[in-house]
C-alpha cells in the first residue's frame, strides 16, 4: 500500500485552520487568554508542583503540611505555591496564622490530567 504524500496547506487554508482552532479554544482569541493558558501549563510543568497539586486534589493543606508531606523546606514550597497561584491552579485563604491552599475549582478535569480519579 502506497503512503500518501503530505499536502501542505496554502495561506487561506492555514488561516481557516487557525480560525477553527480559535473557535474550539477561545483562549487563542486574545493575548491575555494565551498568556493565562501558558501560565497554567508553566505552573503544571514541574515535578514538585505536580506533587503539590496532587496533594491538594486530595484535601486542602497549609504550608507546613505541604512541606512535611513533600519532605522539603518552606522557601522551596512557597516558591512553587506562588507559581501555582500565578498560574491560577490554586487559591489561598488566611485562617488565623495559617494560609490554607486549595485547588482552583474553576479548573475542570484536573484529576484526569493528574492521571487519577474515576473520571
pTM of the predicted model as reported, rounded to 2 decimal places: 0.74
pLDDT in tens, 93-110: 999 999 999 999 988 777
Q: Tell me, what DSSP letter sits at residue 17?
A: H
Do 73 and 62 touch, CB atoms closer than 8 A?
Answer: no
| Alpha carbons 55 and 31: distance in angstroms, whole number | 31
Cell of 47: 515535578
pLDDT in tens, 8-22: 999 999 999 999 999
| Alpha carbons 90 and 110: distance in angstroms, whole number | 11
CA quadruple 107, 35, 88, 51: dihedral sign: positive
Q: What is the pLDDT of residue 101?
A: 98
Q: Would you mind telling me the total number of residues written for the chain in this entry?
A: 119
For the chain, what percent of residues have pLDDT higher than 90? 72
Q: Name the burial class of residue 89, with classes exposed (0-12), middle (13-18) and buried (19+) by CB atoms within 10 angstroms of its CB.
A: buried
Cell of 87: 498560574
The fold for domain 12-113 equals Arc Repressor Mutant, subunit A (1.10.10)
**pLDDT (average), residues 48-76:** 96
Amino acid at each position: 500500500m502506497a503512503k500518501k504524500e503530505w499536502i501542505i496547506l496554502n495561506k487561506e487554508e492555514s488561516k481557516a485552520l487557525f480560525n477553527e482552532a480559535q473557535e474550539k479554544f477561545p483562549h487563542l482569541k486574545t493575548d491575555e487568554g494565551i498568556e493565562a493558558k501558558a501560565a497554567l501549563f508553566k505552573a503544571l510543568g514541574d515535578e514538585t508542583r505536580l506533587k503539590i497539586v496532587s496533594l491538594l486534589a486530595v484535601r486542602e493543606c497549609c504550608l507546613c503540611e505541604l512541606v512535611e508531606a513533600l519532605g522539603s523546606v518552606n522557601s522551596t514550597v512557597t516558591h512553587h505555591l506562588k507559581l501555582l497561584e500565578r498560574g491560577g491552579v490554586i487559591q489561598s485563604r488566611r485562617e488565623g496564622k495559617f494560609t490554607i491552599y486549595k485547588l482552583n475549582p474553576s479548573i475542570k478535569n484536573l484529576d484526569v490530567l493528574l492521571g487519577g480519579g474515576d473520571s
